[in-house]
Structure 1
Amino acid sequence: MPELPEAETIARTLAPHVEGRLIRSIRFFAPRARRGMIPDLEGRRLLRSRRHGKQVVLELDGGVLMVKLGMTGSLRWRGPAGPYTRALLELDEGWISFDDVRQFGSIGWAPECPRSLGPDPLEVSEEEFRARLALRSARIKTLLLDQHFLRGLGNIYADEILFAAAIHPLTPARRLDAERVGRLYQVMRDVLERAIAAGGSSISDYVDADGRPGNFQQFHQVYGRAGGNCPRCGRTLRRILIAQRSTHFCPGCQKQNY
């Protein structure tokens, strides 16, 4: 599932192709791909391609197209039409195709990006991060997945961040001491920045706007590696369910000491 690094990579690789272009039309080939009402976009200028949480945002004059990637969504510059193409945004030169195998993604329209979600993990200050964490009693893995706490994290990077911070995923957030909170904040930024630099993680069919897969999956320490050996201590990595989500961790490095 595309998370913050993948959405950031798609937005960045799309930007040089589309910023400044005029829109001719938007066509949908699957009803589920359209989220709510979308006005006539003909003649509107595409000003900017950026990310908001896990979504790719196409800023236009007068509003934004919010692209929810879901489990398997992708945006391709001049992508070839195929059986999984759900929408096509035609520009004065070229087009953007929205492909989605499992159809959990969609495109919606809004006057501006919603403000109901939490801050961005790469923009939140350490002071605000500490303050928000201190108020929450949820397990830390559950909290990192809560888009109202922080927007953009999903299963892959929550597991990798908690391993890097040596924090057990079942630890109640408010039981973390100041040292561990500081470490969590720093490794969160480090893991995400390294993942973006690597073009994201291609677990199944993720590619950027130019059709290139990511490489960060080669550097996963725990995600998807249950039963293998911990790269740090050699213990067998485990997989458990937390809030119905698969969670990967090392019982040796991430001890239940809370």
Structure 2
Amino acid sequence: MPEMPEVETVRRSLIAQVKGRKITHVEIRYPDLITGDVDQFVEFVTGATISDIGRRAKFLLIHLNNGYTIISHLRMEGKYRISADPSAIDKHSHAIFTLDNGQKMIYNDVRKFGRMQLWNTDDLSDNKSLKKLGPEPLSAEFTFQNLKPRIMRHHKDIKTVLLDQSVMSGLGNIYVDEVLWKVKLHPETPSNHLSDEDIQKIIEASNQEMDKGIAAGGSSIRTYVDATGHKGTMQNNLKVYGKEGTPCPRCGTEIKKIKVGGRGTHFCPKCQVVK
């Protein structure tokens, strides 16, 4: 699933290509992609101009000049492509937005897990999906004061808690593994066993990993590409994710992979000890 660095990279690559463009036609080929009334979605989006593109955690926010915003979640395999080439549209193209310059903004999703929802821009803070999100790295709200009570009220393992988007948002399986390795915390450590220093280190490591991930254009471990078709390079800098059976970069111990909360989890059994 694209995480915060990947979605931010998609946002930047989209904004360079479609900001200021008028949407002249909308075709929804997979109605379940749209949360809400499909006909109303098409009616309200057609004729509107893309005024800006924002992001909240893993959600893209495509702002229109008519007071509405398309909230887009890529989920596992969703991706955007801008092209005037008819061959760019295939059986996995589920939403096609024709622009006033002849280009098309094509939403592709092999697994059909992604969703779009039209929402009043002034009321985005009331949207159920956005409202429940916790603070995200690199934001003013991502502070020790905000994060400590959100983490410490849980007795579950820290891996599961950090994946909970209501605790802190934007990180998924890849970057949580990387953050926990960086701060030397075993993924099965109960969250309420963390010290203040542990939490502060998680905050700092999360900011650092998001910074690095965005600078690298995200991690292209499977099929991820940005809206220009380019892969990211963050996968070349990962320390533990996907590295099972290889030496820990810090101590040389073999990286292990286990299931934590049903998710594949990578860690160093020597550097990361349960507290």
Q: TM-score over 0.5 for the alignment?
A: yes
Q: What displacement does 1:127 show?
A: 2.3
Aligned to 1:120: 136
Q: Deviation string for 1:192-235 (max 9, x for gaps)? A: 11000000000111111111000000011111111221111111
The letter of the residue matching 2:77 is T
Aligned to 1:49: 53
* CA distance in structure 2 between the aligned counterparts of 1:150 and 1:90, rounded to whole angstroms: 36
* CA distance in structure 2 between the aligned counterparts of 1:108 and 1:187, rounded to whole angstroms: 32
Deviating above 4 A after TM superposition, structure 1's stretches of 4 or more consecutive aligned residues are none
Equivalent position to 2:205, from 181, 187, 192: 187
| Higher deviation after alignment, 14-23 or 183-192 | 14-23
Aligned to 1:86: 94
* CA distance in structure 1 between the aligned counterparts of 2:235 and 2:107, rounded to whole angstroms: 23
* CA distance in structure 2 between the aligned counterparts of 1:174 and 1:159, rounded to whole angstroms: 19
* CA distance in structure 2 between the aligned counterparts of 1:132 and 1:18, rounded to whole angstroms: 38
RMSD: 1.4
Q: What displacement does 1:189 show?
A: 0.4
Q: What displacement does 1:33 show?
A: 2.2
Equivalent position to 1:95, from 101, 104, 107: 104
Answer whether contact 2:26 2:42 (CA < 8 A) is retained.
Answer: no
* CA distance in structure 2 between the aligned counterparts of 1:158 and 1:88, rounded to whole angstroms: 33
The letter of the residue matching 2:68 is G
Aligned to 1:28: 28
Q: What displacement does 1:39 show?
A: 4.9
* CA distance in structure 1 between the aligned counterparts of 2:35 and 2:201, rounded to whole angstroms: 39
| Higher deviation after alignment, 155-164 or 49-58 | 49-58
Q: What displacement does 1:66 show?
A: 1.3
The letter of the residue matching 1:14 is L
Answer 1 or 2: which has greater helix percent: 2
Q: What displacement does 1:87 show?
A: 1.0
| Higher deviation after alignment, 153-162 or 130-139 | 130-139
Q: Deviation string for 1:148-182 (max 9, x for gaps)? A: 11221111111111111111111111211111111
* CA distance in structure 2 between the aligned counterparts of 1:242 and 1:92, rounded to whole angstroms: 48
User: Any idea what SS the aligned residue of 1:75 has?
Assistant: strand
| Higher deviation after alignment, 25-34 or 177-186 | 25-34
Gaps of 5+ in 2: none
Aligned to 1:7: 7
Aligned to 2:167: 149
Q: Deviation string for 1:51-105 (max 9, x for gaps)? A: 1211211011311111111111101122711232111111212221111111111
* CA distance in structure 1 between the aligned counterparts of 2:35 and 2:98, rounded to whole angstroms: 18
User: Any idea what SS the aligned residue of 2:186 has?
Assistant: coil
Q: What displacement does 1:138 show?
A: 2.2
Does residue 63 in structure 1 map to residue 68 in structure 2? Answer: yes
Does residue 171 in structure 1 map to residue 189 in structure 2? Answer: yes
* Aligned-pair identity (%): 36
User: Any idea what SS the aligned residue of 1:65 has?
Assistant: strand
The letter of the residue matching 2:89 is A
The letter of the residue matching 2:17 is H
